[in-house]
Amino acid sequence: MRIPREVVEAIKDRCDIVDLIGSYVTLRRAGSNYTGPCPFHSERTPSFTVFPDSQSFFCFGCEAGGDAFTFIMRSENLDYPNAIEFLAKRTGVDIPRSAEEERKGLSRKRVYEMNLIAARFFRECLFDPVLGREGMAYLQEKRGLSVPVIRRFGLGFAPNDFTSLVTVLKKEGYTDQEMKEAFLCGISQKSGRAYDYFRNRIMFPVIDTTGNVVAFSGRDVGGDSKAKYLNSSDTPGFQKRKHLYALNFAKNHCAEELILCEGNMDVVALHAAGFENAVASLGTALTDDHARIMAKYTQRVILAYDSDEAGRRAAHRAMGIFAKVGLDVRILQMDGAKDPDEYIKKFGADKFRQLIKKSSTGFNFKLESVLARHDVTHPEEKIKAAAELCEIISRVYASAEREVYIHAASERLGISTDSLKGDVERLQRIHAKEGRQQQSRQAQLSAMNLGDKINREAAGNVQAAAAEDTVIGLLLLYAEHRTAIRKGVVTLSSEDFVTAFNRRAFEGIMALEESEGGFDFSLLGEFFNPDEMGRLAKLEQARRALSENGTAVLRGAIETLAAAKQKQAVKEASSMDGLQMLLAGKRKQAGKSTSEN
């Protein structure tokens, strides 16, 4: 164990899982438990449950589950040791340095330390009269940013030099490999030497909601680079799909709404103009993770995408993503300007504020887009427009909302509401049937364990895998069953298991049971990834829901497993005998043909 057991136990004692998960998801009490929308998949009806008594969670929709450490591993994309460090910092528990140093690979903490040094270096370069002349001219003269705004966002400048930052980081004791993994340098294939990844660029530090510099976005100012923007790739401390630029500022000003822009400069310009609820995704298309993050802070999103065709396509896609998490979406129509920065420069902050108030609902935006593509004065085009709008409306969940949209479409198309409503209801029936068929297929596959990515051998050993699941669930839930096996009262060993995953689970459980301090579910996180921990949580929940979990059930499952394994062995032996007989027949036939010749 690289992290001492006492550290894990101290963190668990100080970390209440309801408070922890409640800082990520809005939870509501449901009896002795809590429920809320799952932070790991999009859903309309909450299926995510937190169990205070066992300090665990489980989603009955996507089957994510585990304890506080598992939750942080999933939410923050961390491995087990880094999840422990994350919660140690949150709870004020100190991790002995020796245990931390034993860990291999680049830690999240070390990435943040490097990034902070880099951010300070870039800022110093920007404010250097010689090194930062070009960068400062771009920000102040071309973009009109004041020094206070530049300082507020920690903007900097990467000199047009191959070794400036590398030299600074090496003096601080960081290796070439660490700098490369943190996406601050590259390694030359010719010379093998490290070189600065960001050069001659305005630097935008990406700061998370706890104040860590997690990444960078660099904008070219020389005009001779093929890429206008370079963004940090994913590192041990950063994932593009889970971070939003300037959310560290916007989270305090977005209870009513967030403004989502395409670029960092738009965000800075909006904040400078007084719109401190603006954010942007980081060099990647909007993801489900982005939407779930925003849903934690606000109820409405204003899409302030560029007014070109690419921006309109992105807006259409974004509306579908936000709908999954129940966020109200409005669209800005910026006539006379390409983006928010240009609009504010041309027309001022007051006009932009009015523009926000007049922003279109998601449906109105789609309605106008459909009508723009079809000349509804012609019958054929009107029919096509009606078909598109009915398809859009049929996907709307709330009946009252559908009725409003049907009336709006009816007025614009000159078609009766009854006709449109009939078409919408027909499409709903089709979608419902498709959904039932999909659920049926999934249920059939699930019953046969087909598509099981955690226990891939279960499909070929259905009976044995079911018995193993029962055994693992019982061992996870009841100390007396673990004790019975440890003392030999109930006979079971890892060799009795058919599937590799359940064998690993049994070995992990019993290894902890026999260790000093005994079994602790949290300690399994060192040996199993979050998806696997979710499966273990599922097996535990399955047994918890049943009233019969005594020794007779355990012995019965072990007997079933033994019988299934024996049956499998006989089947394999028969197959081998049949193969040998087939080969013998082939040899005999070949010998006969040779003698005849």
Q: Give the number of other CB atoms < 10 A from CB of residue 576.
A: 10
pLDDT of residue 256: 87
pTM score, whole prediction: 0.62
pLDDT of residue 584: 63
Tell me the mean pLDDT per 10 residues along the chain, length 597: 79 90 89 89 84 90 92 87 88 71 65 95 96 94 94 95 94 93 90 92 93 93 78 86 92 91 92 95 82 86 84 82 82 87 92 88 80 88 90 81 88 91 90 71 52 77 87 92 92 91 93 88 90 92 85 90 79 60 59 49
| DSSP state letter for 235 | B
pLDDT of residue 102: 45
What residues are paired with 35 via a beta bridge?
A: 28, 49
Give the CATH fold of the 244-352 domain: Dna Topoisomerase Vi A Subunit; Chain: A, domain 2 (3.40.1360)
Give the side-chain half-sphere CA count within 13 A for 398.
9
The structural domains of the chain, with segments of one domain joined by +, span 5-101, 108-238, 244-352, 374-447, 456-570
Residues 6+ apart with CB under 8 A from 256: 277, 298, 299, 300
CATH number for the segment(s) 5-101:
3.90.580.10
Evaluate whether 468 touches 532 at the Cβ level (below 8 Å): no
pLDDT of residue 592: 46
Give the side-chain half-sphere CA count within 13 A for 551.
9
Closest CA to 475 of 516, 447, 503, 446: 503
The 213-220 sheet, strands edge to edge: 156-158, 201-207, 213-220, 229-231
- What single letter denotes the amino acid at residue 594? T
- Pairwise CA distance, residues 157 & 131, whole Å: 8
pLDDT of residue 100: 45
Report how far apart, in Å, the C-alpha atoms of 494 and of each of 341, 449, 540 are: 64, 22, 19
Q: What homologous superfamily is domain 108-238 in, according to CATH?
A: DNA primase, catalytic core, N-terminal domain (3.90.980.10)
